[in-house]
Chains A and B, each alone.
Chain A
């Protein structure tokens, strides 16, 4: 399972389109989406709920048929009479799957193991996701994180070349999330390719080699996390908390905005956020200016730009706002 330069890409999508029709109403879920996932990388589809991430992934998994476009998974196409052998090479972890209520963790894995001759043993899969102690526990006795790890274990049983994880950590506590990230990293180290969807920007930033930001069914930006953040033109934010009256005067004069390195300014009363390329060059100038005007600085914080900022920059909306809706 090593990345082979001559092998076709793990996934190639061209002009993918999917429309849901219900009761005369049409919803365009995926609208002309193009995507290439290389072998051996962890690729993230990042976007708000309803952006078309899950639809895209389910088309790749062969669960849904697209209305238009071309889909190649490990160089193969669905519906050409050989789906079963392609499925042997894929691992899938869907959003919120419930397994048999009365089956234990081990029994659930035994079921899936039967689908993959030559795959991992049940014990190996248990160890991969650190569920050995829960082997005899039934579904109902598992926490959300344990269930999700079981779902990932069922996906890893067949030693897949390509692993799909659809919102694998939604609703999990931080510790469970980190455990799952570790499983994903180990899978990648062994040569596997991962496609994961998420609306957690930190997850995408931590795990993914490359990312496609999806909104309204199309890719609006793509690249490594670092490239995407660099595309903002400024990677840092300087948060100032000023005495409001003094802040108003200062802002009216426009001196802050005129400082070199400051690319944008947002103000809300005394709270001012400067978008800057480098903190170490802009900070002395800001402090000099404030001292010179006699403005009291109540607090100061700096923050590195995140993928969330990239999304806000591209769409004017927040990722999580949509998620909560």
Chain B
């Protein structure tokens, strides 16, 4: 391994990236934009009131008046057919049909809001006198470190490492192959591992600053905390970047067309998006799915990133995922060097 060659490859790779403003934006600007949009979308502390349709009738006004006492409900009076249509389209969570025997509640329990709406409506319509149970006090979880945005920011850092590694490496390697530049390089005294390592360094040099930018952005805009070890954070970002770049190298080892590498990358990336615990917790799946969750490297990176950001975790606490990510990246890299196609 000659450092001179690795450096030269890294330099030309970095410049190629840095001189493409569009590539820089989509790799490093876009995730910040996504953090901003998602952060705002989920920051409202009280959720939207649930729409409830009351079928027009003599008793409708009285029912609406009782439902309005609960701010979590938004009742409206609709004609019978309009109320049915509204329920069918999901514009309303629950339908209340007054009858001689009392109100009938109609809903589709497979919709997420339906059961909550039913509970709230049942309570609001309880006969007077039945309210003698002790009142329960509700608290809103809004302490920094426990909100959705606090959960999201470490996930976005992990997601960004995944994207930068897999697309940034895989796609560009195949591009160089289609340009026949790899053929030209392999007839020089350069060794395959020198080329791949230089390529990883050239593309990966911005990985840590970018992760710090997202963390800083979360801290300044939403007060997302940073409670753990900065060193552990930096090492995790490097290890995560290495793992996904290694995977990018491996996926790009054989394909000869851009279409093939795009397909392969999507195939690998989609399960990670879904199971890697980026946008929602992945600790509540059951059976085989939970096994898959554990098999996805992004799960371990995101978990460890949350540990060092949201909890006072140090290097020792994240040593296992750190080692796992490095081992995964190294395995991918070695296989990529072995199987790499230059022509």
Contacts and interface: CB of A to CB of B under 8 A. Distances in A.
Are A and B associated in one complex?
yes
Contact of B183 (A63, A88, A90, A112): A63
A94 B183 CA distance: 8
Interface stretch (A39-47, A101-109, A141-149): A101-109
A115 B187 contact: no
A223 B16 CA distance: 46
Nearest to A84: B189
A274 B41 CA distance: 88
B8 A90 contact: no
Interface in B1-59: 4-5, 7-9, 11-12, 15-16, 19-20
Contact of B181 (A63, A84, A100, A102): A100
A102 B181 CA distance: 13
B187 A100 contact: no
B184 interface: yes
A22 interface: no
Interface in A109-140: 110-117
Nearest to B191: A84
A115 B184 CA distance: 12
A100 B183 contact: no
B146 interface: no
Contacts of B15: 100, 102-103, 107
Contacts of A154: 184
B20 A62 contact: no
B334 interface: no
Contacts, number: 73
Interface residues of A, number: 31
Nearest to B343: A63
Contacts of B188: 87, 92, 112, 115-116, 158
B20 A102 contact: yes
A92 B343 CA distance: 15
Nearest to A112: B188
A97 B180 CA distance: 6
A248 B5 CA distance: 72
Nearest to A87: B189
Contacts of B183: 63, 94, 97
Indicate the member of B4, B20, B184, B342 with the most A CB atoms within 10 Å: B184
A107 B12 contact: yes
Contacts of B68: none
A102 B187 contact: no
Indicate the member of A87, A112, A115 with the most B CB atoms within 10 Å: A115
Contact of B187 (A90, A96, A103, A116): A90
B8 A114 contact: yes
Contacts of B180: 94, 96-98
B186 interface: yes
B179 interface: yes
Contacts of A181: none
A169 B190 CA distance: 27
A200 interface: no
Nearest to B187: A92
Given A84-B189, A94-B184, A100-B12, A115 B343 contact: no
The 3 A-B pairs with the shortest beta carbon distances in the complex, nearest first, are A114-B8, A102-B19, A115-B188
Interface of A: 61-64, 84-85, 87-88, 90, 92, 94, 96-103, 107-108, 110-117, 154, 158
16 contacts: A87-B188, A87-B189, A97-B181, A98-B180, A99-B184, A102-B20, A103-B16, A107-B12, A110-B8, A111-B8, A111-B9, A114-B7, A115-B8, A115-B188, A115-B189, A158-B189
Given A64-B343, A107-B11, 6 more contacts: A63-B187, A111-B11, A112-B188, A115-B190, A117-B4, A158-B189
